[in-house]
Structure formats: C-alpha cells, structure tokens
Structure 1
Amino acid sequence: MSSFAKTLSVALAVSLSPAVDAELESITDGELSGVTGQSGLTIDYSSRMSLQQFRYEDSGEFVAEDIRSGGAGMTDAGRTAGYNVDFDDARLTFDIASDGGLDVLWQSQSGQPMDWGFVAGNVAVGTGDPAARTPIFNNLQAWGLLRTAQHSILPSSESGLGRSASYNYAAFTVENLSASKTDSTVGIDGGYIKSPDFTGNPLADMDLTDQIPAWAGSQRARSTTPMDDIAAGFAATEFTVYPVNAGEQGAPYDTLSIGVSGFAADIGAQNLSVGQTDLGSMMLDNLQVSDTVITFTP
C-alpha cells in the first residue's frame, strides 16, 4: 500500500469514529446535495522541513545528512535573490478522475511559479561502516521554480500496460545548483536545469522531438501541455512507474520499472571540480530523452 493510501485510510477511519459521528448525523439531505459529485480535495500549503539523516541500505548504503527543504531562501543563492525559507503559494489538489484514477496535482495559488529550495550538508556512500564512507558532496544546495507537478495512480484499464501504474509529470527549473569545493568531494558552481531554449534558440528553430506534444495525452488534471511549459522556460519530464514480475523484461525478481516518456532540458554548470582540480564548465544543450525504460535489479 502506498504512503498516500495509508494516510487516506487513517483519515477515513478517524472520520468514521464515534467522536465525530454526531457531527455527521447533523448534516441534512439538502446540505449533502450541495456536495454531490465533488470528488476532489484542495489544500493550500506552506511549509519547511528538516531531517537529520536519510539512509538507504542494500548491499551498500547511500547517506545524506543535515537535510533542509522549503522555499528558495533555504539556500544562500536563493536568499540573495530575495526568496523566503517557506515552500508556499502552493496548492495541492486530489481528484478521483472519471476513469477511476487518482490525480494529485501541485500548482500555485497565485498563478506564478512556486520557488523551492533544498540543502544537504553531506552526501556519501559506503559499505555500512560510518567510518569508511566515501564523501561525494559537501554543502549541496539547489533552488529553482516549479510550475506544475502531477502524480496519478492509474488503474490497469487506463495505464496501457495491463497493470496499475504511477504516472508522473513535472515542469520545473533548477536556477542554481552548488556544492562546496573540498579535497575529497565533487564541487559544483552555477549549476542549472532549464528549458531547452535557455541558451537562446527559439523553439521554432529547435529540433524538438515530435513525441513531446503527445507526452501527456489528454493532460488529465493539468491545464498546460509540455510544449506550453517548455515555451514558458521550464524543463519538462514525464515518466511512469510500474511493477515488474520476475521473468518479465529479463528481471530475475519482482521489481519496478520506470518508463521515461520524455525529458527535455538544457543542463549546465559554470564550473565542476573533483577534489581541488577544476574541470571547467559543462553544458548539455537541448538534451532530450524519450522511450526509455529503466528496470531496477534488487
């Protein structure tokens, strides 16, 4: 069961408890008729979050420490740009679609892009012994803008895969990505992820794959298309996550696959370094990925 399904189950259980039953009984038939057919839930959202450590373990471990997320003001560059520390002006909408799918949509209350920020003090990998971890990043910071993000749970009849699946779409930017230059880590200065037209090429002159307009099909809960979002300056990505049984797609065990319908962006950095060695700038212009399947092997 997904974390959302668990949360929804708890909420339903609480709503049906004796403590609130009297309030439910006081609603008249006339009052109920006013909400008939309203299958959605809208939440206006503002928050910040901190986490001491995130650790993923399998044959080895991935560890991120001193994590903070919220608005762009969480980062040094975002604060300099005038943003605050809260992820706010956000609206989260849950809706049961006519095809039986659950659509979860992030969009702004004001119509302007939502600013976000993320900080991790240290990122490392290891074998499980804290003393033997290999550091990768120190003081990793990123901030950017989110235009829209959608997460949908599709029934097998609608996924096109013969099984239930999770559909995901996001239009976003990373305005500044950085990591401190130290003797033993990867350093990043002035990193970005933006629309494929960020370097100045108008969309009409670009070799955009003809699959981009068809990424999102009927758009489901969204009002914009991938081309709308790219033209507005955002990178765009669409992917589906679905279960794979042992023996399918060459998987030896039950696992998950990620089907990438598309990704379109310009990606770059003013300078990359490894240890104290500068590697210079990096730019991937008009990067596009489509029809790609990634299958995890436990």
Structure 2
Amino acid sequence: MKSLKISTLVLATSMAPLVAQAELQALNDQSMGQVTGQSGITIELEAQVQLGEFRYEDEGSLAISDIFIGGADRDDMFPELGFPIPNQASTAIDNIKIDIDIMADGDAVFNVLPLYGSPVDFAIRTGKWELIAQNGPRDGTVLMDNVNVEGVFGSMRIVIDNQTEKMNVNTRFAVDKLEADVPFLAMGIRDMQITGADYGTAPGESENVVRLFALADFDIYKAPNAAGVDSLALDINSFDADMHIGALELGGTSIGAVHLDDLSVHNTSMRIYGH
C-alpha cells in the first residue's frame, strides 16, 4: 500500500459528504454501548482487474471484450478544486479501506472509505459490446465500443438489515470523463461528466469536494413480481446529480453539448426475473 502525504484539510473535506448526508440521531447510553468498544474487521484494498471477455449466453450471446477495472492513472481530475486527485496516481484501485461490523440486532454494516483523505480514483474500460448469433460468425451488431469511464469515489455504506432482509447501498461518486462509441446508432459520447447537483452552481464561490459527489441510495432485496413469483427487487430511493456531455456526435460530427441540471430520480422500483 502506498504512503500518501495528505493535509488535514483534504482529509476533513473528503469525509464531509458522508457526514453531511447521514441522518444524525442522538444516542442514549444503551445504544452507545452497542457501537463503542466493539471488535470488527478492516480490509485495506488495492486491486486491478483485466478480463479478455465476458459473455452472457441465452439463445444468442452478448459479449463484452477487453475489460479493465482499476485506477485512472491521472491526478488532474476536476482541476477547479485546486488540488490533485488522487494524491498519487496509479493503474490500481487503491487507498481503500472496508470496515465490517455485525451490530447487536444482527445487521451487517460495511463502510467503504478512502484509507487516506484523497477520494479514490477509478477507471472502467471496455472494447466492443457485441451481439452474436447462435452458431453464427462473430460479425453481429456492435452496441458499444471504446468505453472509458474515469472518476472518483467518496464513500459507500452498505447495510444488510437483519429484520427486513434488505440490502441498502448509499454511495457518493463523481465521473470526470465518460466516453463511448455507439456504432449501431452512428453516435459518440465525448467528455461526459457526472457530479453533485450543486456542483458548479454557486457563482463567485470556489468549488469544493463537498459538492463534488453525485448521491445514490438504493435497496436490493427479494420481492414478488406481478405474477407473485419471487424476483430480484431494486428500489432506487434517490439519485441526485448534474450531467454534462461535452459533445454528442452523430455520424462522426458533433451536434453540440448537452446539460442535465439537478437530475433527481426517486421512488423507482424494478423487479428482475427470468422468462
């Protein structure tokens, strides 16, 4: 694990989104006893994943080639903040610690945070997303190609509730650059950013890492579908962000930029099952 020199200011501000969004409640003596002085597990993580191909097979197939998950190897993301992100660039996802605790009521709690103050940089890249006919030549429709996502991660809290049997995920992230080709539509997406809903909307104020992160809160659990059959349930409780596409291309020519300001998705439910 790399040693990073982090200022106290950066450490405090990078933790602020988690604190600012948390629901603060007074703790009585009994509840304090449940959360203090207890043992748990902490994992420090550094990882890089490369995969030649992922394939989903039904009758035909969907194949995704040349998958990379790791660090962005950049320290110039969101330069308007005035300090490098991350403090030490690499091709690995690092600077992560995972705290795992089992609470007195049986809830499992996973807190994923930067090990040091700087947000964690990440990159996800792939080659072709291709449809392949059963027993046919590999010359099917290319849905996407040259996918590149680079951004930073602020925090994630995962709670598996022992009573409701639901998994809640609350996370904060920002994308500095998202680019992709969509060949079957002759479309290209260039310089897309995803940030917090208040980022870049305060004239005269310096940007700060507190406003940088888009916020997502969702539940995953088992629930019946319309036919009463148990299915994978996904409820999006909230997703708040700004999105900016630097250039939307059609036929290789830019038709202009696209802005989505104060995007807010709430109370959205999905049931996922086989047919």
C-alpha displacement at 1:49, in angstroms? Answer: 0.9
C-alpha displacement at 1:187, in angstroms? Answer: 1.5
Q: Which residue of 2 aligns with 1:273?
A: 249
Q: Which residue of 2 aligns with 1:205?
A: none
Q: Which residue of 2 aligns with 1:177?
A: 178
C-alpha displacement at 1:66, in angstroms? Answer: 0.4
Indicate if the aligned counterparts of 1:181 and 1:275 stay in contact, CA closer than 8 A: no
Q: Aligned to 1:90, which of 87, 96, 111? A: 96
Greater Cα radius of gyration, structure 1 or 2: 1
SS at match of 2:256: strand
Q: Which has the higher helix share?
A: 1
Q: Which residue of 2 aligns with 1:212?
A: none
Q: Which residue of 1 aligns with 2:12?
A: none
SS at match of 1:100: coil
Indicate if the aligned counterparts of 1:251 and 1:297 stay in contact, CA closer than 8 A: no
The reply to whether residue 165 of structure 1 matches residue 166 of structure 2 is: yes
Q: Which residue of 2 aligns with 1:114?
A: 120
Letter in 2 for 1:146: F
Q: How does 1:142-153 map to 2 (within 5 A)?
A: 142-153=149-160
Letter in 2 for 1:233: L
Letter in 2 for 1:292: T
Q: Deviations over 1:74-108 (max 9, x none)?
A: 8x989xx8832111111112111222111122101
Indicate if the aligned counterparts of 1:151 and 1:167 stay in contact, CA closer than 8 A: yes
Tell me, in whole angstroms, the C-alpha distance in 2 between the residues paired with 1:66 and 1:88: 21
Q: Which residue of 2 aligns with 1:224?
A: none
Tell me, in whole angstroms, the C-alpha distance in 2 between the residues paired with 1:124 and 1:275: 20
The reply to whether residue 257 of structure 1 matches residue 233 of structure 2 is: yes
Q: Which residue of 2 aligns with 1:295?
A: 271
Tell me, in whole angstroms, the C-alpha distance in 1 between the residues paired with 2:67 and 2:149: 12
Tell me, in whole angstroms, the C-alpha distance in 2 between the residues paired with 1:293 and 1:183: 29
Indicate if the aligned counterparts of 1:269 and 1:283 stay in contact, CA closer than 8 A: yes
Q: Which residue of 1 aligns with 2:193?
A: 192
Letter in 2 for 1:244: A
C-alpha displacement at 1:41, in angstroms? Answer: 0.8
Task: Point out where structure 2 has 5 or more consecutive residues left out of the alignment.
Answer: 1-36, 79-84
Percent of pairs with identical residues? 27
Q: Using CA pairs below 8 Å that are at least 6 residues apart, which structure has the higher relative contact order?
A: 2
Change in Cα spacing, 1:116 to 1:53, as seen in structure 2 (3 Å) is: same
Q: How does 1:1-298 map to 2 (within 5 A)?
A: 38-58=38-58, 61-73=61-73, 83-128=89-134, 129=136, 131-155=138-162, 157=163, 159=164, 164-180=165-181, 186-201=187-202, 231-245=210-224, 249-251=225-227, 253-298=229-274
Change in Cα spacing, 1:277 to 1:183, as seen in structure 2 (3 Å) is: farther
Change in Cα spacing, 1:60 to 1:263, as seen in structure 2 (3 Å) is: farther
TM-score (norm 2): 0.72
Q: Deviations over 1:263-293 (max 9, x none)?
A: 0001121112344354422211100011111
CA RMSD of aligned residues (A): 3.1
Tell me, in whole angstroms, the C-alpha distance in 2 between the residues paired with 1:54 and 1:69: 13
TM-score (norm 1): 0.67
Tell me, in whole angstroms, the C-alpha distance in 1 between the residues paired with 2:166 and 2:133: 33
C-alpha displacement at 1:62, in angstroms? Answer: 3.1
Q: Which residue of 1 aligns with 2:8?
A: none
Tell me, in whole angstroms, the C-alpha distance in 1 between the residues paired with 2:103 and 2:272: 30
